[in-house]
Every structure is written in structure tokens, then in C-alpha cells.
Amino acid sequence: MPELPEVETIKLSLEKKIIGLSIKNIQILNSKSFLGDVNQVENSKVIKVWRRAKVLGIDLSRGPASSVSRRMSSLDPAVMRQDLSSLSPRLTLLFHLKMSGQVIYIGEKRFVGGHPTKDMLGEMPNKHSRVIFEFSNGAKLFFNDQRKFGWIKLVQTSELENINHGYSNKLGPEPLDENFTGKILQENLLKHQKTPVKVAILDSSVVAGVGNIYACEGCFVAGIDPRTKVKDLTDDQFKSLHRAVQKVLRDGIKYGGSTKTHFVDSDGKKGYFLDYAFVYNRVGKPCKVCGTTIKKIKLGGRGTFYCPECQK
Ligand SMILES: [Zn+2]
């Protein structure tokens, strides 16, 4: 399942390519993959690409309406205001890749993101293509999804704050946001006193979008046993954990995400964060720091990897 760094990598790649382009055409090959009236989007201009937790957002300005105001005198202040308002976002496309979703952009170059498969580098569309966007410059964006749990939703930008983006809990702070401090992490974690710290940090109301890989790696980098109950953590440990979670997520973005094969970003680099992982998926292997054998346990139903020597 794609985690925050994969979605961030897609965001960074997409914004270089599609901002300023208009959406010429959208083909929906599987009706459940696109929720909303597709006719509203055609001819809209892409003005912003963003991410919140694991949801990718594309803000769109008004399409044909702006050409009407441009024909009028641009010296009239009222019309100038109208022109500006026509560039403020009106509609937003939300993408959630879920288990097997992929975003494949084919323009001058191809970049792919999301669940890795061999066919994401082959002919497009293929049998897993669900939605196809065509842009004003001829580039295409394919939303592929083998298992069809992923979705694209079209919403009014003004309603974004009131929308549950598909999360059951209230969504916590963004882990890489500058407003997300160690103190906030500590306060949010302390609402789950008796929960093992690694389980608590996976809770999206504590911090948004930290998945299993980065929760395991974060505990390792902070030197904290993942089973430690939140109430037993010291102030220093909360601080280390905050720094560690940010570090592993930034490293994840730097290395293009955690997908194991065939991840190619916009510059053709492959994403291999897991080659750099300290503990995740390394059961039975020696710890890269101390040589002790990495252990795997289940915590809150999720596979949890740790070094018994480094994490106490
Ligand atoms: Zn170790």
C-alpha cells in the first residue's frame, strides 16, 4: 500500500508537469473509480497539486467561463476582480490510491507512482486502467487500479474542509508541517496512555499518514522499543520520536518511496527506500547498527520489526 512518501513523491512529480495545463478530456473506464460529474471538469485549468495524509488533491480553476471575462475590458476593476476569481480554485479532484492504485503520467517522459507492478511501465491504457485524463498539451494521466478500491472524487473546493476524505477518525496534523512540533506529538500520543507507542503513532488522529513502514523505522531511529506504552515514555523520548518520524519520512521522499520494484519518478530514478530501512522487512538479519538479529512481532495486528539491543 502506498504510504505518505509515495504520495508526496507523486505530488512533487505531478506539480512539475501539469500546473497550468487544461484538462481536455476525461475517459472513465470504470464508473466506481470516479465519483462526481465529469462534465464539470473538462476545460478546467490545473492550478495546484497538494497532499493531505495519503490523499492527493488537484485544484482546478473555472474553465470556459474565464474566456468570457477576458473578452471584456480588463481596465474595469470589477472585471479584473472577476478575472482573478476565475483563477481561484473552484473544483478539486481527490485521489486515494488505496491498496493497488497507480498514477501513470505519460508526456515527454513517463513517471509512475503507487503500487508497483511490471505492467505500469508497459502499453497504456491496459486492463487495469480506470480513468484517463488528457491534457491540453497532449500528455495523459492514467489512474490504474487492479483491485478497484482506490477512487477519484470531484468536490467543490469550498467544501473541502467539511469533507471526510475517507478517514474514519478526525485527521491529525501533517507530520512534515512546520507547525507539527514535538509537543503536539506528545499531547496527541498521551491521549492513548496504555497503547504501545508504535500502535498509537499509526493512529491518523495522532499524526496523519504515518504507515507501518515508517512507524517501525521511526521507533528504531528514536531507539524506542515499539511495545513501550505511551505513558512510560520520557519527555526526551517524545522529542526523539518526533525527530525520528520526520527523518524517516523525509528519507522516504528522498529515496522516492518504499515500493520495491519498478518505481520510477519523473527523473527516471528508482525508489528503493527499503534498501535503506533499518528494521522493516529485515527479520532474522543483523541490525545495521549493532549486529543483533532483527525480530518481528505482532502489535495491534500489524507486523512490527525491531532491534532488541538498540530499542529499549
Ligand atoms: Zn541494533
* Per-residue pLDDT at 161: 75
Q: What's the gap in Å between 282 CA and the centre of ligand 1? A: 12
Q: What's the gap in Å between 309 CA and the centre of ligand 1? A: 5
Q: What's the gap in Å between 295 CA and the centre of ligand 1? A: 10
Instruction: Give the DSSP letter of residue 303.
Output: E
pLDDT digits (tens, 9 = 90+) for 37-61: 999 998 999 999 999 988 999 999 9
Residue 98 dihedral angles phi and psi, to the nearest 5°: 50, -140
Q: Contact at 8 Å (CB) between 29 and 131?
A: yes
Give the long-range contacts of residues 83-89, CB within 8 A, separation 24 or more.
86/61, 86/62, 87/45, 87/47, 87/61, 88/61, 89/47, 89/48, 89/59, 89/60, 89/61, 89/157
pLDDT digits (tens, 9 = 90+) for 184-239: 999 999 999 999 999 999 999 999 989 999 999 999 999 999 999 999 999 999 99
Low-confidence stretches of the chain (pLDDT < 50) are 65-74, 84, 168, 260-263, 266
Q: Which residues are catalytic?
A: 2-3, 54, 302
* Per-residue pLDDT at 171: 86
% of the chain beyond a pLDDT of 90: 65
Q: How far apart are CA 180 and CA 182, in angstroms?
A: 7
pLDDT digits (tens, 9 = 90+) for 66-76: 444 444 444 55
Q: How far apart are CA 150 and CA 99, in angstroms?
A: 7
Q: What's the gap in Å between 281 CA and the centre of ligand 1? A: 15
Q: How far apart are CA 311 and CA 295, in angstroms?
A: 11
Q: Contact at 8 Å (CB) between 143 and 33?
A: yes
Provide the residues around ligand 1 (an ion) whose CB is within 5 A: 287, 289-290, 292, 307, 309-310
* Per-residue pLDDT at 68: 41
Residue 176: which of 208, 220, 133 has the closest Cα?
Answer: 208
* Per-residue pLDDT at 307: 98
